[in-house]
Amino acid sequence: MANQKLAVSTLGFPRIGRRRELKFALESYWAGKSSQAELLDVAAAIRKANWVDQLDRGVTNIPSNDFSLYDHVLDTAVMVGAVPDAYGWTGGEVSLDTYFAMARGSADGGACGCGGHGSATALEMTKWFDTNYHYMVPEFGKDQEFKLASRKPIDEFLEAKELGIHTRPVLVGPATFLKLGKIRDGGGDPIDLLPRLVPVYAELLRGLKAAGADWVQIDEPILVTDLNEAEREAIAAAYRQLATASVPKIMLATYFAALGDNLDLVASLPIAGLHVDLVRAPEQLDAVAATVRKNLVLSLGVIDGRNIWRADLDVILDRVAALRADRGADGIEIAPSCSLIHVPLDLAAEPELDTEIVSWLSFAIQKIEELDTLAIALVDGRAKVDDALKAARAIRRGRAKSLKVNDASVQTRIESLDASMSKRESRFADRRSAQDRKLDLPQFPTTTIGSFPQTPEVRRARAAHGRGELSLSDYETLLRQETEAAIRWQEEIGLDVLVHGEFERNDMVQYFGERLSGFAFTKNAWVQSYGSRYVRPPIIFGDVARPEQMTVGWWQFAQSLTDKPVKGMLTGPVTILNWSFVRDDLARSQVCRQIALAIRDEVIDLERAGAAMIQIDEAALREGLPLRQSEWRAYLDWAVECFRLTAAGVADGTQIHTHMCYSEFNDIIEAIAAMDADVISIETSRSKMELLDAFRDYSYPAGIGPGVYDIHSPRVPEIGEMTALIDLAKRRLDAGQLWINPDCGLKTRKWDEVRPALVNMVAAARQLRARKDASRAA
């Protein structure tokens, strides 16, 4: 019998369309410019194109229901009828408008004033594990009942079947779905709802089987995180109940890390297949193979679903050879480590990218081609794909030696790093005196986080400049006008520490990436961040250096207009790293050190130019935390070291600020303190300053600017609201530590909202100063 190749699976495929069709269709529908039918047609066309793309490239197990109009977790919530009362759902099929109201809030509300329908805020949104994809957080009532309220997985299976394509439907697993959600009003652990949810999944699975599905992929990435015994037992019970003869065979998919101490649990489940991530956790292969039943199909996640580099096919073949021999070709499948929604669709869409760099890359389409090569090699032998393997080897060798990748001066500098470079000259208390003498700030100094509104005019000018329709000098003239107006206005309303406004920046990471060597940018390599928002993360392909100053000129211009201090404004190395595709031939910690050195040079140049305060934003520091708590330490150690390396080159009298967006600080407060910044601004208004408990309990010594107004909302806060918040902050911290600022940058707001809000904020600070108790702690 002729050999057939090994089974190839994809777990999930990019769903935004080749030319971002989904985004445009959604936005047009939301704007009332097109009908529901038109939107659904675009969605169906994307699904079809995806299935055909995969079929043509030899994918054996083609997923269905991996498509989503907005978010797959939201789809799951709707599927099981977890629709909070606020959305006015009364049973039956959940309408598209209810679905979008859950995703985005409904603005049409309030007209009748009853509050019972029409107006509801969106569900919360948060990061999907440690990726930059954001999902809608399911919300359950205490007595949540579930029922099958959408047949989407069955419909999409049948839709593919109509096209003659047999698919393997994908579901977010019930345990992961619940663990990612929350029970309203502090109602306990959502995993307790599992027994109620399982019958709904069972009903759906029976429906899939009746429709002809022989396998189903159930994603339970929660199994790579820390679980307690009760959770494990609940999961075991759920799968015992679920996996019966009347449902399709279950391929349980785990990804983003090793199963670790959940391996025994997984091995005990009555599943027919198990997918494991061998990119993030190649070392788990032996343990997994030794623990799971012999007749269980192992899906090997060998191609990186989270990054964009061509794989080392030889290494993969070596790694799985023994398993292939042991289990036979029917006992294994190969796949990307996780769904491919985390990478762009097709390299062919980047004709303008440097061809050498392109040769190193692999997007979703290229990844399934790599899998096809592997699948052939694993059945017919390597000789059969000798040409492809040789070519891949040559490309890797070329990349390793490329002058684009290797910058000897960067490497020498990294080798000569010593610990003193990440230490300020003096400890905080001494620096504080030096800075107080130099800066002479009032108590409760007022400032902002950096950016001011990026008006349509600024965005249009940047786009026109990008297209070559507006000269650099005309573009910069506009930017100077904006900056000058912002400085004048900040002086007028009486802010103490000014910012230049960041009008010249497209994005806080991209701006720096475009000025550093070792970074590449794409034109069309979009990746879904959430809903219809897609991003094009920078690609860090080589050693990072700073050929010239990046921000000094803008800072100098702004400072020349005023006697008040203007903060230098930089993005920190950890944030730049965490929001990019990072090269896979060097440890992340080392790449981060290179970025740290480059930003450090800018810090020193800003100081030399006269900046007395420099802010280094680390919005994404906490986001980079590994999924397992046991690995936090190692990450935080190098992340904090990189921040310090960036910041520590300045004199005691130069004040280093940092800013972090919403973060649970409790469990990382030691690391925050170890960053040793002189002032940190954080997002606290929505938590009513509760986030400050961590700083109080730790006796955090340095300056803190707890955000006093929520910049995510257009609402203008009253003076009294802000003084009340600062009073709450004063209960937790020394008044002398406190700075007054908004939660985050203001670039997404309108001037009409920002102006009155900041006027009120300054007034709030003045009221506090005028009170007696304020002067006591100064």
Residue 431: burial class (beta carbons within 10 Å; 0-12, 13-18, 19+): buried
Q: Name the residue nearer to Zn ion (CB basis): 374 or 497.
A: 497
Min dist. Cβ of residue 586 to ligand GLN (A): 26
Residue nearest to ligand GLN (CB): 745
Give the interface segment with ligand GLN, choosing from 248-256, 261-269, 387-395, 449-457 (CB under 6 A).
Answer: 449-457
According to DSSP H, which parts of 85-168 are helical?
Answer: 96-104, 152-162
Give the interface segment with ligand GLN, choosing from 141-149, 419-427, 535-543, 741-749 (CB under 6 A).
Answer: 741-749
Per-residue x/- mask for ligand GLN, residues 365 to 404, rule CB under 6 A?
A: ----------------------------------------
- 451 contact choice in Zn ion, ligand GLN, none (CB below 5 to 8 Å, kind-dependent): ligand GLN
- For tokens 């009362």, name the residue: 85
The set of long-range contacts for 15-19, using a CB threshold of 8 Å and a minimum separation of 24, is: 15/46, 15/47, 15/50, 15/66, 15/67, 15/68, 15/341, 15/528, 16/46, 16/345, 16/526, 16/528, 16/534, 17/42, 17/45, 17/46, 17/49, 18/49, 18/345, 18/346, 18/349, 19/524
* Dist CA 566 CA 323 (whole Å): 61
Per-residue x/- mask for ligand GLN, residues 621 to 660, rule CB under 6 A?
A: --------------------------------------x-
Q: Which of 285, 292, 479, 508 binds ligand GLN (CB under 6 A)?
A: 508
Cα-Cα-Cα-Cα dihedral of 49, 54, 57, 61, to 10°?
-160
Sign of the alpha-carbon torsion through 643, 647, 649, 653: negative
If binding is defined by CB under 6 A, does position 706 make contact with ligand GLN? no
- For tokens 């404004």, name the residue: 569
Per-residue x/- mask for ligand GLN, residues 407 to 446, rule CB under 6 A?
A: ----------------------------------------
Instruction: Please tell me what DSSP assigns to residue 292.
Output: S
If binding is defined by CB under 6 A, does position 569 make contact with ligand GLN? yes
Instruction: Please tell me what DSSP assigns to residue 120.
Output: B
If binding is defined by CB under 6 A, does position 747 make contact with ligand GLN? yes
If binding is defined by CB under 6 A, does position 745 make contact with ligand GLN? yes
Contact 278, 303 (CB under 8 A): no
Min dist. Cβ of residue 569 to ligand GLN (A): 6
If binding is defined by CB under 5 A, does position 405 make contact with Zn ion? no
Contact 753, 716 (CB under 8 A): yes
Min dist. Cβ of residue 508 to ligand GLN (A): 5
- Buried residues in 123-136 as b, exposed as e (16+ CB within 10 A): bebeebbbbbbbbb
Q: Are strands 613-617 and 568-571 parallel, antiparallel or unpaired?
A: parallel
Q: Name the residue nearer to Zn ion (CB basis): 39 or 744.
A: 744
If binding is defined by CB under 6 A, does position 449 make contact with ligand GLN? yes
* Dist CA 577 CA 592 (whole Å): 6
Min dist. Cβ of residue 745 to ligand GLN (A): 2
Q: Active site includes 166? A: no
Q: Which of 213, 364, 625, 661 binds Zn ion (CB under 5 A)?
A: 661
The first and second tokens of residue 19, run together, are 């030319």
If binding is defined by CB under 5 A, does position 744 make contact with Zn ion? yes
φ and ψ at residue 626, rounded to 5 degrees: -60, 160
Instruction: Please tell me what DSSP assigns to residue 117.
Output: S
Q: Name the residue nearer to Zn ion (CB basis): 725 or 744.
A: 744
Binding to Zn ion in span 610-649, by CB under 5 A = 619
- For tokens 């790449």, name the residue: 591
Q: Is 59 helix (H, G, I), strand (E, B) or coil?
A: coil
- 617 contact choice in ligand GLN, Zn ion, none (CB below 5 to 8 Å, kind-dependent): ligand GLN
Q: Name the residue nearer to ligand GLN (CB basis): 140 or 452.
A: 452
* Dist CA 669 CA 694 (whole Å): 7
If binding is defined by CB under 5 A, does position 570 make contact with Zn ion? no
If binding is defined by CB under 6 A, does position 619 make contact with ligand GLN? yes
User: How many positions of this chain bind ligand GLN (CB under 6 A)?
Assistant: 13
Min dist. Cβ of residue 736 to Zn ion (A): 24
Min dist. Cβ of residue 615 to ligand GLN (A): 7
Min dist. Cβ of residue 661 to Zn ion (A): 3
φ and ψ at residue 354, rounded to 5 degrees: -45, 125
Catalytic residue among 72, 500, 657, 712: 712
Q: Name the residue nearer to ligand GLN (CB basis): 99 or 530.
A: 530
Q: Binding residues for Zn ion, per CB under 5 A?
A: 619, 661, 744
Q: Binding residues for ligand GLN, per CB under 6 A?
A: 449-451, 502, 508, 569, 617, 619, 659, 661, 744-745, 747
Residues annotated as catalytic (active site), given as ranges: 712
